Chains A and B, each alone.
Chain A
Amino acid sequence: MRVILILIKKEFLQVFRNSLLWKILLLAPLAEFLLFPYTADYEIKNVHVAFIDHDKSTLTADIQSKFSASPYFINHGDIASKQEADQMMKNDEIDFIIEFPDQFENAIVRQEQTKILITANAINTVKAGLGSEYVQTVLGNYFTDLGEQALQMSAVPLSALNTTAESSGEAQEMTASVLSHTPQAQLVTTHVYWFNEQMNYQNLIVPGLLIILVTLIGAYVTALNIVREKEIGTIEQVNVTPIKKWQFLLGKMIPFWILGMVEFGAGLVIMKLMFGITIQGSLLLLLGLTSVYLLVMLGLGFFISSMANNQLQAMFIVFFLFILFVMLSGVFTPIEGMPDWAQYINYANPMSFFMSALKTIILKGSTIENIRHQFIVLSVMAVVLNTAALLSYRDKAK
């Protein structure tokens, strides 16, 4: 016990004397939280749109004013020629061209079929995809409001747009047809998003950041710290003493476990103060889950350190695993959208279990019953990895 205490003391002294390390530990999470949630927003604003209006009617002018009024669009107005509009799109000044045919208004009034041509700049596929949806929504709302026609868009051209756009990188055309019908009752779909009613992306991103933070401290800092001792030779001076492997292991893990929990706590405070996200479930449960996850990461870091001979190697291994974990974890993209084999790989991904449990505790208020599965899996992983770490640690070179 005395041995472990002195090792913990030593580790903390070193962390706080290493001015760079502890500044990184302090500033990295802050920077992450200050920047990331604003940059990783899936919503698209400032969609640049221009019109080619062959009709020049009251109706088309009215539609154009709807786009001017929308906060999502910047209206570049009516462009005289198609060439000019194409050139603007090539220069990346506009994202969408909406072209009204001649006699558009008359056709609508006479309830005949007519077409609106929507051209999307699909170099940024996300913007093109979401933008088309917005355009269709604005147009759809307009015609619904008009109360006379139902506007129906064909969904086919949109998917064609995405695939061809990627290969050519050029603007693609899509056709939307306004089908005229006799006025009839309409089915209006409304959505209620449970547990994240505003569909606020920050509610997903911020817990994801918490996870990244804990992972970095657990795996990165631990692995690098031990490998550094290998590099400068201090570990040999320790290995020549009668210290026991588990004492050494605990002496390394406890300090970084404490640091990880403190960082996590700080992250929770930032989450509440800056983003107003309140933990719906039990704080104690959340901390319990995190401490188990941290043990998994510490074990992993320790295990990697016994394979790596220098800090560069350790960095590469942790970085590779980290990217893999993040991509598969569902932190930024939904797991449900991944192919089956990727979902199977996820059974070995601790971050994925942690993410799903943490999200539901924070956003949904899940209890231990709801996340028992994740808790058990993470506990087993912690035991396995730490045993592996203990067994693979060599106090004697081969």
Chain B
Amino acid sequence: MKLPFRKTEAIESPYSIEVKELTKCFGSFTAVDHISFQVKKGEIFGFLGANGAGKTTTIRMLCSLLMPTSGQATIAGYDLATQHKMIKRNIGYMSQKFSLYDDLTVFENMQMFGTIYNIPRKELKERIASSLEMLNLQDQAKTLVYSIPLGWKQKLAFATAILHRPKIVFLDEPTSGVDPIVRREFWDLIYAAASKGVTIFVTTHYMDEAEYCGRISIMSNGQLKLIGTPSELKERMGVDSIEQVFVKFVER
């Protein structure tokens, strides 16, 4: 007999994320209220919403860091309820708060996480070298992370999150607090990863960033209110920018 949580086969599907009626309650407060959506493979999916709308709670459930109250989800073809070990192997996650080890060097952080993902030693070295080159951080490999600027830290966190070549990467407000130049560079990294077929699930506050996404959704009070491509949403609301869509939507 095969125990359900030992199952390692993935379901074939054109979607890399499928969410059905996902709900999270903290006591009497419903943080995420029966949301359903699909994200296609290789898509850049923008997850918008005001503070406290339930974005982070959703991401944490999808990353198997938080137990859902009810509902189902399939991540990279694996069932969230029963196959979380397989899900973890196939996703990368970058939390809202920078959470690599401050007292380790850039290289040590990447080496540690890469090793946990069981990337072979030699291969890992090569991947770290090419990541650092891509980030232009070669000279900082032996620098302790706490001493590098926030923008670099965010890029480093992203590079670490995709070091094990995940199928999906979840980014929770990756660009909050960084300057416009780094933000542009960060989006270049996102595009580079997406062009290799990685599905990007990204939350953001910045409406200009929403324009870069393939599709976006807007969340409010735990519910998913709107979903579509940026141009669809603009057309539907009869405005010329996502910012206006957002404002109009919030005013309603």
Contact = CB atoms under 8 A, between A and B. Distances in A.
Interface residues of A, number: 25
Contact of A397 (B67, B104, B115): B67
A396 B103 contact: no
Interface string B195-225: 0000000000000000000000000000000
A22 to B, nearest CB: 12
B108 A397 contact: no
Interface in B89-115: 89, 91, 93, 95, 97-104, 108, 111-113, 115
B99 A397 contact: no
A6 B100 contact: no
B26 to A, nearest CB: 10
Nearest to B64: A396
B93 A13 contact: no
A233 B95 contact: yes
A2 interface: yes
B116 A13 contact: no
A141 to B, nearest CB: 65
Contact of A396 (B65, B93, B104, B116): B65
A243 interface: yes
B64 to A, nearest CB: 6
A396 B67 contact: yes
B165 interface: no
Contacts of B84: 396
A132 to B, nearest CB: 58
15 contacts: A2-B118, A6-B111, A6-B112, A7-B116, A10-B101, A13-B104, A14-B101, A233-B98, A233-B99, A234-B101, A237-B95, A241-B117, A396-B64, A396-B66, A397-B67
Contacts of A234: 99-101
Contacts of B67: 396-398
Contact of B100 (A7, A18, A237, A243): A237
B93 A240 contact: yes
A232 B63 CA distance: 19
Given A10-B101, A17-B144, A397-B60, A236 B112 contact: no
Taking residues whose C-beta sits less than 8 angstroms from the other chain, chain B's interface range is 20 to 34
B55 interface: no
A238 interface: yes
Contacts of A236: 65, 95, 99
A239 interface: yes
A135 to B, nearest CB: 60
Contacts of A18: 103
B43 to A, nearest CB: 21
Interface string B126-139: 00000000000000
A7 B112 contact: yes
A243 B60 CA distance: 17
Given A233-B97, A236-B99, A397-B65, A241 B104 contact: no
Contacts of B65: 236, 239-240, 395-397
Given A241-B116, A241-B117, A396-B64, 4 more contacts: A10-B108, A238-B116, A242-B85, A242-B117
Give the secondary structure class of A's interface: helix
Given A236-B95, A240-B63, A397-B66, A2 B115 contact: yes
Given A236-B65, A236-B95, A6 B116 contact: yes
A3 interface: yes
Nearest to A18: B103
Interface of B: 60, 63-67, 84-85, 88-89, 91, 93, 95, 97-104, 108, 111-113, 115-118, 121, 144
A241 B85 CA distance: 8
B219 to A, nearest CB: 20
A242 B84 CA distance: 9
A10 B95 contact: no
A10 B116 CA distance: 12
A303 B60 CA distance: 24
Contacts of A7: 112, 116
A14 B104 contact: yes
A299 B99 CA distance: 26
A17 B146 CA distance: 12
Given A3-B118, A396-B66, A397-B65, A237 B112 contact: no
A232 B146 CA distance: 13
A6 B111 CA distance: 8
Interface string A84-108: 0000000000000000000000000
A396 B117 CA distance: 18
Interface in A1-40: 2-3, 6-7, 9-10, 13-14, 17-18
B167 to A, nearest CB: 13
A17 B144 CA distance: 10
Interface string A220-239: 00000000000011101111
